[in-house]
Structure 1
Amino acid sequence: MTSSSDRLPIFPSRANLVIMQQRVLAAKRGMGLLKRKRDAIDLKLRDLNRLMDEREETVDNKIRLAIFSLAKANLLGTDFKPMIVSESKPGSAYMRRRHQKIVGVSINSFELEVHHPGGFPLAGLSCGGAQVQKVRGSFEEALREIVEVASMEYMLRMLVIASRQTNMRVNALDHVVIPRLVKTQKYISGELEELEREDFYRLKRSQAKQLEAKIAFSELIKTRNMTEEELNDYLRRGAFLHPVADVLFDEEEFNAESVEGRRRQVRIHSPVEIAEERKEFSLSRPSRRLSIKHSLTHRDSRHDSYLPAASSSGMQLFLQRGAQRDPRSSRANLLAPPHWRHRNTSSSSEEEDTDPATTKPN
């Protein structure tokens, strides 16, 4: 894990991720341009070094010839000192500075300008005039060579400084800036992926809980109207164990209104159907008709019954048997109204009192 000093302090978001990607691309593009500039400066430096080596030899020869010509003029009897002291005039040679750019680097160059050559026109008039002209020309050429060499040396120094600065910028981009931007980009990407995984896990957990609720509701409806034997057989076979499948299902099935409607339908229709199916069993025991009728009359007097009168005896038997279910199937009674459970207990007590099979003769 990268430390906070190796990356930029930035909030992980999609917009910042795009910004980091753009900054990384811009830094790499700038590093490529700086490398090309550094290579061009190095190439120019090699050319200037080669020219400097050639011009240094030329300058040495020019200065040597100028001094030798001056010695020859002095040997011929030409004396320049009195003229220089007596006739001091403004100089006729000037050095001009020019501004130019070499591979994007601003550099100054120097050039020699001579306005009116021959500062001492009467020198050597008596003797050695030709030699004086040679001295004047040789010194002018030597001065031009010196100015050009000085200009090249100045340019060389400026290019060396520019090359060093460019190399430092390239190294900074390559080893500091770009790695920090890349680590910041990876940090933002990792955080966003972690958020996506959390959202995905949260969604899957929500779907799993909804599916478990759906399976529990279906099991509740399936086992609600089972007899004791059917429930024991169902529990023994383990049919209530369903794998929690990670699939999508309709959320409308768990809407409060739709669930309440289904519960109402189950309360009304399921007891009626079971009562009709077991009508023969209830009619085959005439000794219990009186007790069942009495218990139904007692319940109807205390609570408002919403069951059909035709299925009262069958419903009574269903309620009596439902009260004796296995405690493990208590979830099947969750949808039953409270007064049903009260009816079960009251009816069972009254049935015990009125059953002729269990009463003792006086």
Structure 2
Amino acid sequence: MQSQFTPTKANLIKARENLSFSRGGYALLDKKRTVLIREAMTLVDRANEIQKKVKNQFEDAYSTLEIANITLGVNTVSDVAMSIPKQEEFQILHRSVMGVEIPMVIYEKDENKNPNYSFFRTNSALDNAVNTLENLKYLVYELAEIENAVYLISLEIKKTVKRANALEKIQIPRYEETVKYISEVLEEKEREDFFRLKKVKSKKQENS
């Protein structure tokens, strides 16, 4: 690194500016890393909570669905299931977390939604299974959003850590070494110039 810089005052100023810029960049990356890690940990905790809810609701849904299959018959339950239209009442928007674009699943939950099938060949077990799976759908939306966010943030954390380490362990020490080297060379040169000037003055005084 030293060989790339001629020990001049201009290069010393430039090296100091680069050092200051690198330290500032490291401070920003370190802050970004801290915020992203905190955000990821919060999301992971939330994902674990939702996964437990999803597991419980799946168990409840399959339990009531099993009762419906026994009481109504598998063919009847299958026919009702096929008659329910596929619905995707959601939008994908984005939010930014320290420059990371995180997709958000936006939906409006309809609490008073009427069934899409006739009550004529069905029973309460099937109704419960349908309602449970309907509510489960919203949990899956939320879980998908959170798990995707954790994945994207994790990738950004790795990139940020790599850049921060490069600055901390390579770039900053190099500029510190360069500033030290140029400063020492210039100081030595100033001392030599000072003694040289002192000798010249001394000779002039002797001659006079």
TM-score by length of 2: 0.84
Q: CA deviation at 1:68?
A: 1.5
Residue 164 of structure 1: which of 120, 145, 158 is its match?
158
Q: CA deviation at 1:152?
A: 1.3
Aligned to 2:116: 120
Residue 71 of structure 2: which of 76, 87, 91 is its match?
76
- Once the two structures are superposed, residues 211-269 of structure 1 have per-residue CA deviations (whole angstroms, 9 ceiling, x without a partner) of 3323xxxxxxxxxxxxxxxxxxxxxxxxxxxxxxxxxxxxxxxxxxxxxxxxxxxxxxx
Runs of at least 4 residues off by over 6 Å: none
- Once the two structures are superposed, residues 73-99 of structure 1 have per-residue CA deviations (whole angstroms, 9 ceiling, x without a partner) of 2223161333555x585x223443221
The yes-or-no answer on 1:186 pairing with 2:180 is: yes
Aligned to 1:211: 205
Unaligned runs of 5+ in 2: none
- 2:174 partner SS: helix
d(CA) in 1 for partners of 2:70, 2:141: 29
Aligned CA RMSD, in angstroms, stands at: 2.6
Q: 1:98 to 1:7 in 2, by over 3 A?
A: farther
- 1:101 partner SS: strand
Aligned to 1:197: 191
The yes-or-no answer on 1:152 pairing with 2:142 is: no
Unaligned runs of 5+ in 1: 1-5, 215-362
d(CA) in 2 for partners of 1:88, 1:131: 16
- Once the two structures are superposed, residues 99-142 of structure 1 have per-residue CA deviations (whole angstroms, 9 ceiling, x without a partner) of 112244222233456789567322x41342x4433222111111
> When you count helix as a share of all residues, which structure comes out higher?
2
Report the identity percentage: 25
Flag the structure with more relative contact order, 1 or 2, with Cα contacts below 8 A and sequence separation at least 6: 2
Aligned to 2:103: 108
TM-score by length of 1: 0.51
Aligned to 2:6: 11
The yes-or-no answer on 1:138 pairing with 2:135 is: no
- Within a 5 Å distance, the mapping from 1:275-314 to structure 2 comes to none
Assess if the C-alpha contact under 8 Å between 1:27 and 1:178 holds in 2.
yes
Assess if the C-alpha contact under 8 Å between 1:45 and 1:156 holds in 2.
yes
Assess if the C-alpha contact under 8 Å between 1:110 and 1:147 holds in 2.
yes
Aligned to 1:29: 24
